[in-house]
Amino acid sequence: MTILVTGGAGFIGGNFVLDWLARHDETLVNLDALTYAGNLETLKSVQAHPGHVFVHGDILDSALLDQLLARHQPRAVIHFAAESHVDRSIHGPMAFIQTNIIGTFQLLESARRYWQGLEARRQQDFRFLHVSTDEVYGSLAADDAPFSERHPQQPNSPYSASKASSDHLVRAWHHTYGLPVLTTNCSNNYGPYHFPEKLIPLVILNALAGEPLPIYGDGLQVRDWLFVSDHCSAVRRVLEAGRAGETYNVGGCNEKTNLEVVRTICSLLDGLRPRADGRSYAEQIRFVSDRPGHDRRYAIDAGKLERELGWRPAETFDSGIRKTIEWYLANAEWTAHVRDGSYRDWVSKQYG
Ligand code: NAD
Ligand code: DAU
């Protein structure tokens, strides 16, 4: 038995690959283009693992996709690969259209050709699991109910519009061709191996480096945080027992304002790695220009996943954020290598 994972050198895909190989004997083929966000150092511990087949390649390359599916005969495709950073999508939307829309289309087409050639039993068991985001639903007001799977899609950024497009393609390939698809829409993840362009790792590493902690606008935007290993367990559970054609929301019931998140990180760091001058890291907080079109609030209702498949997150925000900070403190080499020249170029483009 084999599964094919796309984007398994990124943050969530990388955590998924490590968790999967620790739990299953099944071979995992990991297709990743190694963009700026893909990092083979995340996969160092499984480099020589007999069940891990890493393929450096692009989901836009349909000949490669056809070849991989024919050679490895996977029982499932789990699709993490994407351009994932909202701010980058504002500076340069084209890569998001290419990978998130055209790339998902190519993957669906190759999966369809492969699936149609399988014998009946294997056709029935095959799954295409599309990993998507809560951002496709748009933005909530303070007193709105959390997003359910029935919430209309109202994406507001080039990133979320490209992910919503990919969700629609996945839905259509099920409805029209019968491809057995599953879609998960998850809230904000955090945890080990998170690229430091995103809020939580950026704040941890900037704090330790004595640099400003940038808060967009008033810092009162709300995100619903989920520890990454809980997202991985949700994906495994949906793959195992989700109903083909269905969409499942994944979230941690951990709504926090950005200011709360940043202050929590500062106070944990004050205890775990005090500043040399004895002052709080919170003194490094700086309010900067807001993100254009910044969504105010995301919140996920994950009740369907709990009721139908019995999934619940294992971590609270308090336990997860402490684990995350401890991981960054213990893995200075990984972060030093990530913060190389191209990362510094991004920081000067975004923050001036
Ligand atoms: P990431 O940016 O850390 O990793 C993306 C990975 O995809 C990288 O390894 C990159 O090299 C690879 N990739 C990019 N373009 C590719 C291409 N054309 N072909 C092959 N590989 C390519 O992203 P992430 O944060 O790990 O997110 C993974 C998935 O989960 C995405 O689909 C994202 O939309 C979704 N998601 C993310 C979050 C979050 O909080 N990070 C929450 C919900 C859903
Ligand atoms: O909700 C799921 C989404 O979460 C995923 O689909 C995306 O791939 C992922 O990047 C994430 O999107 P966000 O835009 O919510 O995450 P980000 O870490 O970029 O920002 C979190 C919040 O913090 C957001 O309100 C913007 C704010 N922010 C971010 C950065 C980088 C700041 O205030 N300052 C910053 O420097």
Domain ranges, ordered by start, for the chain: 2-189+228-251+295-315
Q: What's this model's pTM, rounded to 2 decimal places?
A: 0.98
Give me the amino acid identity at 3.
I
- For the four alpha carbons of 123, 125, 131 and 133, in that order, the dihedral sign comes to positive
Å from CA of 6 to ligand 1 middle: 9
Counting ligands in written order, the one closest to the CA of 4 is 1
Residue 54 bridge partners (DSSP): 30
pLDDT, tens only, 19-40: 999 999 999 999 999 999 999 9
Q: How confident is the model at residue 252 (pLDDT cuts 50, 70, 90)?
A: confident
**Active site amino acids:** 134-135, 159
Residue 215 bridge partners (DSSP): 287
Counting ligands in written order, the one closest to the CA of 226 is 1
* pLDDT at res. 65: 98
Q: Is the pLDDT of residue 42 over 80?
A: yes
* pLDDT at res. 123: 98
* pLDDT at res. 344: 75
> The tokens 């619940």 sit on which residue?
312
Q: What distance in Å separates the CA atoms of residue 250 and residue 225, rounded to the nearest whole number?
A: 10
Q: What distance in Å separates the CA atoms of residue 225 and residue 3, rounded to the nearest whole number?
A: 28
CA angle 320, 325, 327 (to 5 degrees): 95
pLDDT, tens only, 303-313: 999 999 999 99
Q: Tokens representing 254?
A: 């951990």
Q: Tokens representing 221?
A: 């935007």
Å from CA of 164 to ligand 1 middle: 14
Homologous superfamily assigned to 2-189+228-251+295-315: NAD(P)-binding Rossmann-like Domain (3.40.50.720)
Q: How confident is the model at residue 93 (pLDDT cuts 50, 70, 90)?
A: very high
* DSSP calls for 31-45: EE---TT--GGGGGG
pLDDT, tens only, 70-89: 999 999 999 999 999 999 99
Q: How confident is the model at residue 246 (pLDDT cuts 50, 70, 90)?
A: very high
